Amino acid sequence: MKITGYRSLRTVHRWGRPVGDANGFLAGGVTEVPVLLLETDGGLTGVGLGAHGDIARVFPAVDGADPRAVTALYDRMLAHVFKSGHGGSTFGTLGALDMALWDLKAKMAGEALWRTLGARDRFVPGYASGLEIALDDEALLALYEPWAERGFTAAKIKGGLDVDRDIARLTAVSGLLSRNTRRPALMLDVNESWGRHQAVRLLARVEESVDLTWIEEPVRRWDVAGHRAVALAARAAVATGENLTGLEQFWPLLAGDAVGVVQTASVWGITHFLRVSALALGRDLPVSPVGYNVNPLAHAAAAVPNHLVTEVQDLALPVGLTADQSVEEGGIVLGDAPGLGIEVDEAAIAALGAAREEADWARPEGPHVRPKDAGLRLIPRPVPTAPLGQAT
């Protein structure tokens, strides 16, 4: 079987509420979900998720190849772009292609990807993470209630602008999850919004009141000394890595003993996660995938020995996508459908028409644009809020 071409689709995820973090939020609660379909001459189609703006440049590296040679093709893609580098959107394109290749490899074997990768257990422990910084306190509890009903014992909130508010919200969510465990695991993600001069002091205030499991991205992603300073001062682990693109970007953090929980983003692909996991395993560190639509890294997470917990961001799926998995008992239960188990309803996506323009990611504000005062704030910053399901 050979790869013969590709098609790109674009659907949307309707969160039904504002979503975002310390860098901003999307008031309309609608995000774009790019879908890459990798076609073969054998009638099978591989599904990859995530932005792939460099597909025309990267696809020749896999065109005509046997999709079963996934890891060799991953290295071939890296070699194909080595002159210009593989960061940013290029690495995302590699990730979407890699995901589609693994989907094809498992489909050709007639089994779910988690089995192809060698996992024994279809259950993947998870934690709830609602990207909920713009929700008021009542809406926050309403958002996490269904997660508590599904047996979750761990949750992460977005914060960093006002640690007194963060403490109150962490405490409230802990109260919800305490029906499932005596001591819920609580994480705080500040999305690189603190400067090194702030991080130790502000985290100390949080830890006076909350038994924090980890602090996520307390300083800039490349700041080894800053992460190391936080790690030395904190009781909580330091978690980071979702925005790092390639093993070479992890080396300084690991060599500097500056990270306690190694993270990777789903949009960077399956092979990237497997290699980062092996790198972390060599230093006896756990890995934790950062969530994305349809939880594609869950299959790989089930197969690595140092997987800690996977971020699960929403109980709903994007328009036109279904997946053979369920969220229950505090995690993700993977099914037996071949490949990633993702089905794409192209008619439903096509029917969106102009509705796809509801996605407001292209606006010049939101969690993808770093505020000019990030890392420079001396006092708490007010956070605009809205009830659950209401735009601001």
CATH number, residue 20: 3.30.390.10
**Structural domain boundaries enclosing 250:** 114-339
Q: Among the three residues 316, 339, 362, which one is the final residue of a domain in this structure?
A: 339
Distance CA 98, CA 374 (A): 34
Residues 101 and 231 reside in one and the same domain? no
Residues 102 and 120 reside in one and the same domain? no
Residues 61 and 187 reside in one and the same domain? no
CATH number, residue 182: 3.20.20.120
Report the Cα 3 to chain-centroid distance in Å. Answer: 28
- For the stretch 259-298, what's the b/e string if a residue is b when 16 or more beta carbons lie within 10 angstroms of its beta carbon? bbbbbbbbbbbbbbbbbbbebbeeeebbbbbbbbbbbbbb
Distance CA 290, CA 221 (A): 15
Residues 200 and 299 reside in one and the same domain? yes
Distance CA 196, CA 333 (A): 39
* Each residue's pLDDT expressed in tens, for the chain with a length of 392 residues: 999 999 999 999 999 999 999 999 998 899 999 999 999 999 999 999 999 999 999 999 999 999 999 999 999 999 999 988 898 899 999 999 999 999 999 999 999 999 999 999 999 999 999 999 999 999 999 999 999 999 999 999 999 999 999 999 999 999 999 999 999 999 999 999 999 999 999 999 999 999 999 999 999 999 999 999 999 999 999 999 999 999 999 999 999 999 999 999 999 999 999 999 999 999 999 999 999 999 999 999 999 999 999 999 999 999 999 999 999 999 999 999 999 999 999 999 999 886 555 666 666 667 888 999 999 998 998 888 877 766 54
Give which of 9, 51, 11 is closest to 357, Cα–Cα.
Answer: 11
Residues 163 and 88 reside in one and the same domain? no
Residue 391 lies in a domain: no
Q: Among the three residues 339, 354, 374, which one is the final residue of a domain in this structure?
A: 339
Tokens of 139: 């809406």
Apex 273 CA angle, 37 and 342, nearest 5: 35
Q: Among the three residues 56, 91, 111, which one is the final residue of a domain in this structure?
A: 111
Residues 272 and 177 reside in one and the same domain? yes
Distance CA 34, CA 31 (A): 10
Taking CA atoms, 374 is separated from 135, 174, 244, 381, in Å, by 21, 28, 19, 11
Distance CA 47, CA 51 (A): 13
Residues 131 and 31 reside in one and the same domain? no
Residue 166 lies in a domain: yes
Is this structure's pTM higher than 0.85?
yes
Residue 376 lies in a domain: no
Residues 254 and 135 reside in one and the same domain? yes
**Domain count within the chain:** 2
The pairing of beta strand 24-26 with beta strand 123-129 = unpaired
DSSP state of 375: T
The pairing of beta strand 287-290 with beta strand 261-265 = parallel
DSSP of 279-311, one letter per residue?
A: HHHTTT--EEEEP-TT-TTHHHHTT-TTB--EE
Residues 122 and 230 reside in one and the same domain? yes
Residues 159 and 262 reside in one and the same domain? yes
